[in-house]
Amino acid sequence: MEQRRYFNRDLSWLSFNERVMEEAANEKIPLLERIKFLSIFSSNLDEFHRVRMPVLRALQKIGEKDENRISADEQKGILKQALDMINAQQERFGAILKDQLIPLLKSYNIHLLYNEVFPGVVKKAVGEYFLSEVLAFLQPVILDERNKFFPENNKLYFIVNLLETSGTEKIIMLNIPSDELPRFFTVKAESITYIAFLDDIIRNNLDKVFKDVEIKGCYSIKITRDAELDLQDEYSGDLSDEIEKQLTKRDFGLATRFLHQSGIPLRTMQLVTRQLDLQKACTTEGGMYHNLKDFFSLPVKSPGTSYEEWPAVNTPGLDEAASISSLIADRDMIIHTPYQSYHSVLRFFNEAAINPDVEEICVTLYRVASNSRIVNALISAAKNGKHVLVMVELKARFDEANNLKWAKKMKNAGVKIVYSVTALKVHAKIAIVKTRKDHRIVYSGLLATGNFNESTAKFYTDHILFTSNPDLLREMELVFLFLSKREKPSAHNQINFKHLLIAQFNLQSKFIELINREIQFAKSGKPASIIIKMNNLEERVLIDKLYEASQAGVKISMIVRSICCLIPGVAGMSENITVRRIVDRYLEHGRVFIFNNDGNKEVFLGSADWMNRNIYHRIEVCFPVCDEAVKNEIMQIVDLQLKDNVQAVMLDQELRNVPVAVGGLATQAQREIYRLLSGN
């Protein structure tokens, strides 16, 4: 039998989601945090059904190989494995919630009413709430052959079976307005806090909606649709207009999953399937409650149910500095969110917006906060007469509408907005400020591993470099000049980047060159090693190069949070490669690449995972860390992550998450990194 060379990306992704759910079962974690891990698991699974399940089903039906050359027969097997994994995970999800977390909530005098009869005191309170608040948002629709109804993507609904006094049966689609009202409603009685689902509040008051009829049944459903936007590779019109049109169509995409409560009568199922055009969807029997990602907003505030607070650490020297540009004039500065305060990033943009000597600001935006102070600073800068150029990526999945909103607002304020070409996403995270000093232009800039987003910076671990390094900044300007032309990279417009690693130009070839150098060191008997930290690893050219390095004796330590298609520890192929996953209170998001280089270590940071999409379909920026103090700080942080034996697991050859053996002191990387950066 031929040896497997790669894990399947979708099964690997589901394996990561299994790791997330393990945290929900982890008794060492505070109660509310365990519930939040369940909500993250639920959200991830929804995204899998929206984004990946359509691909899996399409490939095994059309009988073609995918981009990784997997045949249709193999795809059928993968689809079955994926569905088996999902079913097993959902079963475990229910067991963790009902057998562990709900009883634990009761120990805090918090009673989550989960498929239970409302106590009298709760029934009275929710009855009043229903009549005064909920009823206004309900929109019952009769489902029959004359009335086509199109449920919105991933929204919650009831199917209600009614029997009129005349004997006529009716099937009603009734919305659960969880996008308009809180999913949970609390009632305090004596020392107990009761928490009721909005779903159950409606169930318990259906007689106030449907009068003079018999309610024969009420069943919760949810329909998940394909979330991909249908954009042509060569689109010559206004991309913002096309994105706006496509967003209106997203809720009308192909149904990929029909999730329903058990017990729906067969005749009702047949009518619903036919009327809602669900024949091609994966029909899945679930529980009474869907969209349990809403557990993230569960109204629980009892002491001891959340993580101890880790206040963000101020950047050393920043408070005393006259400005950030003066602070970084002579040496680079780096911050590590969320351990360190994001205020320095906000200050960088705010100072640029009001500094009369600043003439130009250029920035790439991929995902921004819903109330972005960074974007407001850019708007202020434009109104202050500065030239502001913003590359806005309208194709950032599920953030298209927010990015479109901000793009229009900036454009109206005088900001020059550039959109990427349709075939490429711009995923780079860079910014330049040009300041006139003594009749010359001085540059300063930011290069980051994560988005310029003050909201996600509170729970994504990222690295943001502040620099005045002319070598890096000159090449960053070349990136902006290229993006402004709105061209796809080709033979006639290639740029010879010497310092930055730019996808579509030199990123893949440079990483191959760096790996080859370690291979040569190993072959000449010198110590050779590579440390790589990223979110996802799929691209096979780079995986094969890592296999080659392993076979040459290069020691390779990897920290891969989610998808990993490389199989570690296989004799004759990858015996010198280890892969860790770290799941903890913060989402590991930084990309770090460290090459031993015969003891003269080279460190790179950047926006790029090694996925097909990042390597072949995006503009990414990775950058060298030149400042020795910054380089040492990065290596200290990564060293702590490699020593984690509390929250880290090792990925084995069967795609299992294997706990790291605890030898000596227990090391929890995120806690130790916080201590390091806070000076404790």
Structure tokens at 5: 């060379």
The answer to the question of residue 302 being in a domain is: no
Element (H, E) at 354: helix 343-354
Residues 281 and 401 in one domain: no
| Residue 176 within any structural domain of the chain | yes
601 and 671 assigned to the same domain: yes
3-class SS letters over 394-436: CCCCCCHHHHHHHHHHHHHCCCEEEECCCCCEECCCEEEEEEE
Distance CA 134, CA 137 (A): 6
Residue 306, domain member (yes or no): no
Q: Are residues 269 and 353 in the same domain?
A: no
Report, as residue numbers or ranges, the catalytic residues: 427
Amino acid at site 307: Y
pLDDT at 251: 62
**Strand, helix or coil at 284?**
strand
Q: What are phi and psi of 615, to 5 degrees?
A: -80, -40
Domain total of the chain: 4
Kindly list the distances between the CA atom of residue 414 and the CA atoms of 241, 381, 404, 442, 452, in Å, as whole numbers in the listed order.
19, 9, 16, 23, 20
User: What CATH number does the domain containing 245 carry?
Assistant: 3.30.1840.10
- Give the whole-angstrom CA distance, residue 196 versus residue 299: 10
Give the mean pLDDT of the chain.
91
**Could you tell me if residue 299 is inside a domain?**
no
**What's the confidence (pLDDT) of residue 535?**
98
Cβ neighbour number for residue 230 with a 10 Å cutoff: 11
In a domain, 334, yes or no: yes
Proportion of the chain above pLDDT 70, given as a percent: 93
The reply to whether 157 and 282 lie within a common domain is yes
- pLDDT, position 67: 53
Which residues, 6+ apart, have CB-to-CB distance to 299 below 8 Å?
A: 182, 184, 186, 195
The full DSSP string for 174-243 is EE--TTTS-SEEEEEETTEEEEEEHHHHHHTTGGGTSTTEEEEEEEEEEEEE-------SS--S-HHHHH
Q: Is 252 exposed, middle or buried (0-12, 13-18, 19+ CB in 10 A)?
A: exposed
Q: What is the pLDDT of residues 564-583, one digit of tens each?
A: 999 999 999 999 999 999 99
Q: Which structure tokens are listed for 194?
A: 């009761």
Q: How far apart are CA 105 and CA 194, in angstroms?
A: 10
- Per DSSP, what are the bridge partners of residue 159? 173, 219
Residue with tokens 């009632």: 187
Instruction: Report whether pLDDT(421) > 80.
Output: yes
| pLDDT beyond 50 at 235 | no
What are the DSSP calls for 440-451, one per residue?
EEEEEEEEESS-
pLDDT-derived band of residue 248, with 50, 70 and 90 as boundaries?
low
d(CA 409, CA 179): 25
Question: Residue 580 in contact with residue 644, Cβ under 8 Å?
Answer: yes
What φ, ψ does residue 239 adopt, rounded to 5°? -60, -35
CB atoms within 10 A of CB 612: 18
Work out the average pLDDT over 406-422. Answer: 93
pLDDT bucket at 157, cuts 50 / 70 / 90: very high
Q: What is the pLDDT of residue 243?
A: 56
Identify the residue with better confidence: 150 or 584. Answer: 584
C-alpha span between 527 and 599 (Å, rounded): 8
Domain containing 666 — which CATH number? 3.30.870.10
Comparing C-alpha atoms, which of 126, 116, 104, 107 is closest to residue 186?
126
In a domain, 310, yes or no: no
Contact between 396 and 420 (Cβ < 8 Å)? no
Residue 664 CB burial class (10 angstroms; 0-12, 13-18, ≥19): exposed
CA–CA distance, 233 with 242 (Å, rounded to integer) = 12
Q: Which amino acid is at 582?
A: I
CB 645 within 8 A of CB 658: no
Cβ proximity of 242 and 286 under 8 Å: no
Last residue of a domain, one of 91, 114, 137: 114
Q: Is the pLDDT of residue 418 over 70?
A: yes
Q: What is the pLDDT of residue 679?
A: 87
Task: Find out whether 20 and 44 touch, Cβ atoms under 8 Å.
Answer: yes
Tokens standing for 680? Answer: 């404790």
For residues 426-438, give the mean pLDDT.
Answer: 96
Q: Is the pLDDT of residue 30 over 70?
A: yes
User: How far is it, in rounded angstroms, from Cα 535 to Cα 660?
Assistant: 19
Residues 481 and 515 in one domain: no
- Ordered strands of the 141-142 beta sheet: 141-142, 169-175, 156-164, 213-225, 255-261, 282-286
Give the DSSP letter string of 134-148: IGGG---EE-BTTB-
Out of 235, 266, 288, a domain closes at 288
Strand segments, DSSP code E, in 326-372 are 333-337, 358-365
pLDDT in tens, 605-638: 999 999 999 999 999 999 999 999 999 999 999 9
- What whole-number distance in Å separates Cα of residue 314 and Cα of residue 318? 8
Is residue 293 assigned to a domain? no
Per-residue pLDDT band at 233 (split at 50, 70, 90): very low
Q: Which of 469, 529, 528 is CA-nearest to residue 500?
A: 469
**Alpha-carbon gap, residue 556 to 510, rounded angstroms:** 17
Answer whether residue 318 is part of any domain.
Answer: no
- The reply to whether 52 and 160 lie within a common domain is no
Please give the radius of gyration of the chain, using alpha carbons only, rounded to the nearest integer.
27
Which of 649-658 are b and which e, b meaning 16 or more Cβ less than 10 Å from the residue's Cβ?
bbbeeebebe
Residues 470, 524, single domain; the answer is no
Same-domain pairing of 417 and 525: no
Q: Are 655 and 680 in contact (CB under 8 A)?
A: no
Assess whether 533 and 673 both reside in one domain. Answer: yes
Longest distance between any two alpha carbons in the chain, whole Å: 90
Mean pLDDT lowest among 55-64, 255-264, 376-385: 55-64
Q: Which residues contact 236 (CB under 8 A, 6 or more apart)?
A: none
CB atoms within 10 A of CB 340: 21
CATH number, domain at 103?
Answer: 1.20.58.310
- β 213-225/591-595 pair status: unpaired
Same domain flag for 670 and 538: yes
State whether 485 and 336 are in the same domain.
yes
If asked whether residues 452 and 368 sit together in one domain, one would say yes
How does residue 236 score in pLDDT terms, banded at 50, 70 and 90?
very low
Q: How far apart are CA 383 and CA 378, in angstroms?
A: 9
Token pair for 87: 């079913």
Across residues 469-484, what is the average pLDDT? 97
Q: Give the domain-ending residue among 458, 493, 528.
A: 493
Mean pLDDT calculated for residue range 90-110: 95
Q: Work out the number of other CB atoms within 10 angstroms of the CB of residue 129.
A: 18
Note down the domain range covering 24: 1-114
Question: What CA–CA distance (Å, rounded) separates 9 from 651?
Answer: 14
CA distance 57 to 60: 6
Q: What is the pTM of this model?
A: 0.93
Q: Note if the bond before 338 is cis, omega within 30 degrees.
A: yes
Distance from C-alpha of 87 to C-alpha of 521, rounded to nearest angstrom? 47
Residue 380, burial from CB neighbour count under 10 angstroms (0-12, 13-18, 19+): middle
Tens of pLDDT along 182-216? 999 999 998 999 999 999 999 999 999 999 999 99
Interval 531-553 mean pLDDT: 98
pLDDT band, residue 288 (cuts 50/70/90): very high
